[in-house]
């Protein structure tokens, strides 16, 4: 698979490894472990979306590690005015981001 040049600066391939069959319902031939080299929440969410939209995830597990600078990520249908203390976040320089999927605030 070809990865666009701009994406190569976002993450590093840790390993393309064999996944052990023991203890798993379905066995797979191999998996992929990626680690983000960015602490930017917006960039990490964009890479996650790119992986979802452009990589064949069927039968090939992908583990994507990332660590963000202080931020709050809300789900698709959440209201930031109800979920977050926006004034405190602004004072502390904490970023607010929304991911495309549902789920709770992290």
Kind and range of the H or E run holding 83: helix 80-83
Query: What is the distance between the alpha carbons of residues 11 and 104, in angstroms, rounded to a whole number?
Result: 25
At residue 102, the 3 state secondary structure works out as coil
Q: 42 or 9: which carries more pLDDT confidence?
A: 42
Compute and round to an integer the Cα radius of gyration of the chain: 16
pLDDT recorded at residue 29: 62
pLDDT digits (tens, 9 = 90+) for 46-85: 888 888 888 877 777 788 888 999 999 998 888 999 889 9
More confident residue, 40 or 103: 40
pLDDT of residue 34: 82
Give the sign of the dihedral formed by CA 35, CA 58, CA 29, CA 21: positive
pLDDT of residue 15: 47
Per-domain residue ranges for the chain? 14-19+30-69, 70-105
- Indicate the pLDDT class of residue 90, thresholds 50, 70 and 90: very high
């Amino acid at each position: 698979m070809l990865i666009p040049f701009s994406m190569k600066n976002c993450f590093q391939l840790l390993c393309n490894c064999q996944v052990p069959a023991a203890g798993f319902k379905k066995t797979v031939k191999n998996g992929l472990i990626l680690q983000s080299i960015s602490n930017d929440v917006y960039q990490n969410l964009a890479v996650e979306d790119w992986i979802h939209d452009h990589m064949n995830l069927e039968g090939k597990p992908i583990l994507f590690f990332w660590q963000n600078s202080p931020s709050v990520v809300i789900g698709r249908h959440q209201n930031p005015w109800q979920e977050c203390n926006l004034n405190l976040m602004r004072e502390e320089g904490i970023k607010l981001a929304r991911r495309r999927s549902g789920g709770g605030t992290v």
